[in-house]
Amino acid sequence: MNYIFFDLETTGSSSSHDSILEAYFLLCNDSFQKLAPPLTLRCRLKEGVIPNLNALLINRSTVNLLKNSNMSWYQAVNLMESTLRKWSPATYWTYGGVNFDYEFLRKTWFKALKEPYLTNTNGSKQGDVLHVIRAAKLVKDDIIKTPISAKGNPVFKLDKLMKHTDAHGAEADTIQTIKLAELISKKANPVWKSSLMTTSRIDAEQLIQKEKSFCSLEYFYGKLRIFYTYYFGIQHPVYKWFLAWDLQWDPADYIKMGKEALKDALDKSPKVLRTIRCNKSPMILHSNYGMKVEPYSKISPEIYKKRMKILDESNDFKERILNILQKKADERKKDDPLGLHPEDRLNNLYDHGFPEQSEKEKMKKFHSVDWKEKVNLLDSFSQDHNNQFARRLVYEEAEHLLPKSVHKEVKRTLAEKILNPKNDKVNWTTVADFYQQIDLERNKSENDPNRMKLLDEYNDFVMNIEKKYQDA
């Protein structure tokens, strides 16, 4: 299968509320040879988005680029989708993209009224080179030289591994990701092959069900940890994550616990249940790797067999665990606010599932007609957030065609979002947040006239956005 390597540069870290500014995609075969000219995209700032200052500084987005790039956000999204459909099916690769780039893409397409699951449906798969290189480093320490943090842990940030100065540019980051992937495939091929076995949810699930005992890798607090685990047939009742038992713990001690004691035990760290998110390209290695490291190396194979047998025969125990997890998920759902903006619905994207066929047909029709006809299709969608996104798209691309009442409503909604007159606690950047970021950066840059000039330009740019929406 061919590979598509890519990187996104965005206005901030919120995949729901921020937007793509720059993207780079490169199609290769499985020998990492380029098969087509790269897709390079740079678009103007999306309406209703206040960028995070730090994001602008990192990806070097000037005011001129934000205002005068040759494509709007919607045009960039259309070109991105059409190109990737031509290149697919393929295995998509990013660096650190499982919790960022893929989520950004999905929610971008969702906001653009497009099928959001392009990278992991219809034969396409998705992987993360960051996961693979961490695993390769664990298995073969000399695979790559990494900087060491103050706490003595290897640092895997792409800009720290790069040999050139153009880090945080979409093209440069993608090229470096390809180089790292090729390095692993050559110098740690068993790890690379293992990563290919979990690039789709179905493949990962089948592998776990077949192997049952395996090593799962998790990275937290700057350290990569390996767990020797056993899958004993349970999935999270709501989120469908696979749950595996950490074999350093004796399940017999937990089976005899009462309801509340078991609930507390499942919440405690270190966790006895390891969560395997099969849709996030987990790294799964042979059990031999785990049995070579502490604490697992101190436990005999006979004891492991005994613990696995106990787990396989513990149907009542499994049911008790599932009931506890179900109740916990229900409570969390109750406490999760719906939000006033359509982007808030994207925080629970997977709760929506796949769009109904009728909704897909409406989306397809919306994109196939001109902007005047698009106006006639407003409010035609079954789901209210899709109607709101449709209104936003017309407002951004052809606002003069909107009825006055609709135009006023969209503008007022965006104004409430970016101006935040009630000073609500929000998870996106507001105008006030941006000014505060500017002031802090000015204090650090007093002796740098070029940086101060750039900050003034950013400040004036956002002030103009503020003026536009103050009368909404």
pLDDT digits (tens, 9 = 90+) for 112-127: 999 899 999 999 999 9
pLDDT, residue 338, reads: 52
User: What's the predicted TM-score (pTM) here?
Assistant: 0.93
Residues 351 and 311 both lie in one domain? no
Residues 219 and 108 both lie in one domain? no
Res. 350: pLDDT tops 70: no
Measured between alpha carbons, how far is 377 from 402 in angstroms, rounded to an integer?
12
pLDDT, residue 346, reads: 73
Residues 94 and 218 both lie in one domain? no
Residues 59 and 178 both lie in one domain? yes
Domain boundaries, position 156:
3-193
- DSSP secondary structure letter of residue 298: G
pLDDT, residue 341, reads: 80
Measured between alpha carbons, how far is 31 from 269 in angstroms, rounded to an integer?
42
Residues 89 and 216 both lie in one domain? no
Residues 409 and 317 both lie in one domain? no
Residue type (1 letter), 389: F
Q: How confident is the model at residue 163 (pLDDT cuts 50, 70, 90)?
A: low
**CB 63, CB 79: distance < 8 Å:** no
pLDDT, residue 35, reads: 98
Domain boundary among 173, 193, 213: 193
pLDDT, tens digit (0-9, with 9 covering 90-100), for 434-469:
999 999 999 999 999 999 999 999 999 999 999 999
Residue 153 contacts by C-beta under 8 Å, 6 or more apart in sequence?
222, 223
Q: How confident is the model at residue 228 (pLDDT cuts 50, 70, 90)?
A: very high
Residues 346 and 296 both lie in one domain? no
Residues 287 and 347 both lie in one domain? no
Measured between alpha carbons, how far is 21 from 76 in angstroms, rounded to an integer?
9
Q: How confident is the model at residue 131 (pLDDT cuts 50, 70, 90)?
A: very high
pLDDT, tens digit (0-9, with 9 covering 90-100), for 212-226:
999 999 888 778 889
Residues 184 and 208 both lie in one domain? no
Share of the chain above pLDDT 70, in %: 95
State the average pLDDT over residues 131-151: 90
Residues 66 and 164 both lie in one domain? yes
Task: Find how far residue 179's CA is from the centre of its chain.
Answer: 22
pLDDT, residue 224, reads: 84
pLDDT, tens digit (0-9, with 9 covering 90-100), for 196-206:
999 999 999 99
**CB 314, CB 255: distance < 8 Å:** yes
pLDDT, residue 166, reads: 60
**CB 167, CB 173: distance < 8 Å:** yes
State the average pLDDT over residues 381-391: 93
Share of the chain above pLDDT 90, in %: 81
| Secondary structure (3-state) at 67 | helix
Number of domains making up the chain: 3
Mean pLDDT of the chain: 93
**CB 207, CB 198: distance < 8 Å:** yes
Rg over alpha carbons for the chain, rounded to the nearest Å, is 25
State the average pLDDT over residues 168-190: 93
**CB 390, CB 366: distance < 8 Å:** yes
- DSSP secondary structure letter of residue 52: P
pLDDT, residue 420, reads: 94
**Cα 28 to Cα 183, 194, 244, 285, 337, distances in angstroms:** 15, 20, 35, 26, 43
State the average pLDDT over residues 76-83: 98
pLDDT, residue 339, reads: 59
Residues 151 and 92 both lie in one domain? yes
Residue 117 contacts by C-beta under 8 Å, 6 or more apart in sequence?
106, 354
Q: Which residue has the higher pLDDT, 71 or 353?
A: 71
Residue 293 contacts by C-beta under 8 Å, 6 or more apart in sequence?
226
Domain boundary among 159, 193, 227: 193
pLDDT, residue 423, reads: 92
Res. 327: pLDDT tops 60: yes
Residues 8 and 65 both lie in one domain? yes
pLDDT, residue 256, reads: 94
Length of the chain: 472
pLDDT, residue 332, reads: 76
pLDDT, tens digit (0-9, with 9 covering 90-100), for 86-115:
999 999 999 999 989 999 999 999 999 998
pLDDT, residue 204, reads: 97
Q: How confident is the model at residue 340 (pLDDT cuts 50, 70, 90)?
A: low
